[in-house]
């Protein structure tokens, strides 16, 4: 299954092998005639979430968003002695992430972006892959589909002083405990909730 967030509304692409339930917000991609993106826009005016049943979820998802420019990014959920690293950007708590550079492996992207956005030093390592999220946005009349690979990271350094990357709109960086992090995840973007839920599922 693949989920794409469009202005915090959720579109799930599900295999016909794993989804049999019929509901008002469930549609078979083979029944859609015409512009698929326009179809999504019209239905999302009626529903907060859509379920698209298809034979090949990955391929069909990319077909729906073939007018979008694909941006690949990496990010991290960083832990240190029971605390987790959060950034405050555009009036919402978020997790550090950023775009992949040319010829850069995605795990390198994730580590680099965490260090840059949080001002953290080099005592940072990846424990394991967590999940991949997708969301759309527009900029200068262009449409983008952002794919972010998320990793669970561990910080072993002794310095917990943090420096937000102000030029990226980040105004605060904090270590928060588990309960504070759960609260932040609930108030953050839905894609961030997926990252947090992926972490909790692996405990």
Q: Summarize pLDDT for 158-192 with one digit per residue, the tens.
A: 767 799 999 999 999 999 999 999 999 999 999 99
- Closest Cα to residue 163, out of 150, 154, 172, 155? 172
189 and 104 share one domain: yes
φ and ψ of 105, to 5 deg: -70, 145
pLDDT at 21: 65
Mean pLDDT of 18-47: 87
Average pLDDT score over the chain: 93
Mean pLDDT of 21-47: 90
Tracing tokens 């990010």 back to the chain, one arrives at 75
The Cα 22–Cα 107 span in angstroms is: 39
137 and 60 share one domain: no
The Cα 111–Cα 76 span in angstroms is: 7
- Give the tokens for residue 203: 């405990």
**Would you say the C-alpha torsion 159, 161, 166, 171 has a positive or negative sign?**
positive
92 and 147 share one domain: yes
- Give the tokens for residue 158: 């002794």
Residue 8 has pLDDT above 90, yes or no: yes
- Residue 71, beta-bridge partner list: 146
Q: Write down which residue in 64, 81, 102 finishes a domain.
A: 64
83 and 32 share one domain: no
149 and 184 share one domain: yes
Summarised one tens digit per residue, pLDDT across range 73-90 is 999 999 999 999 999 999
Whether 27 contacts 83, CB under 8 Å: no
pLDDT band at 32 (very low <50, low <70, confident <90, very high): very high
Q: What is the CATH number of the domain that holds 171?
A: 3.90.79.10
pLDDT at 150: 98
Summarised one tens digit per residue, pLDDT across range 98-152 is 999 999 999 999 999 999 999 988 889 999 999 999 999 999 999 999 999 999 9
Owning domain of residue 18: 2-64
- Residue 189, beta-bridge partner list: none
98 and 171 share one domain: yes
pLDDT at 45: 95
Domain count, the chain: 2
- Residue 76, beta-bridge partner list: 151
Q: Write down which residue in 64, 83, 114 finishes a domain.
A: 64
Percent share of the chain, pLDDT over 70: 97
53 and 121 share one domain: no
pLDDT at 80: 93
């Amino acid at each position: 299954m693949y989920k794409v967030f469009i202005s915090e509304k959720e579109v799930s692409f599900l295999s016909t092998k794993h989804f049999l339930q019929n509901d008002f917000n469930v549609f078979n991609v083979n029944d859609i005639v015409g512009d698929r993106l326009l179809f999504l826009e019209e239905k999302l005016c009626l529903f907060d979430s859509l379920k698209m049943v298809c034979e090949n979820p990955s391929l069909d998802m990319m077909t729906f968003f073939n007018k979008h420019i694909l941006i690949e990014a990496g990010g991290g959920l960083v832990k240190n002695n029971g605390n987790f690293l959060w950034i405050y950007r555009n009036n919402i708590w978020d997790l550090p992430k950023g775009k992949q550079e040319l010829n850069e492996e995605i795990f390198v992207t994730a580590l680099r972006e965490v260090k840059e956005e949080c001002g953290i030093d080099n005592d940072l390592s990846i424990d394991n892959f967590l999940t991949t999220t997708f969301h759309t946005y527009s900029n200068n009349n262009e449409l983008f589909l952002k794919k972010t690979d998320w990793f669970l990271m561990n910080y072993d350094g002794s310095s917990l002083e943090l420096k937000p990357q102000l030029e990226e709109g980040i105004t605060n960086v904090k270590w928060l405990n588990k309960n504070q992090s759960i609260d932040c995840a609930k108030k953050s973007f839905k894609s961030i909730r997926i990252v947090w839920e992926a972490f909790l599922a692996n405990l």
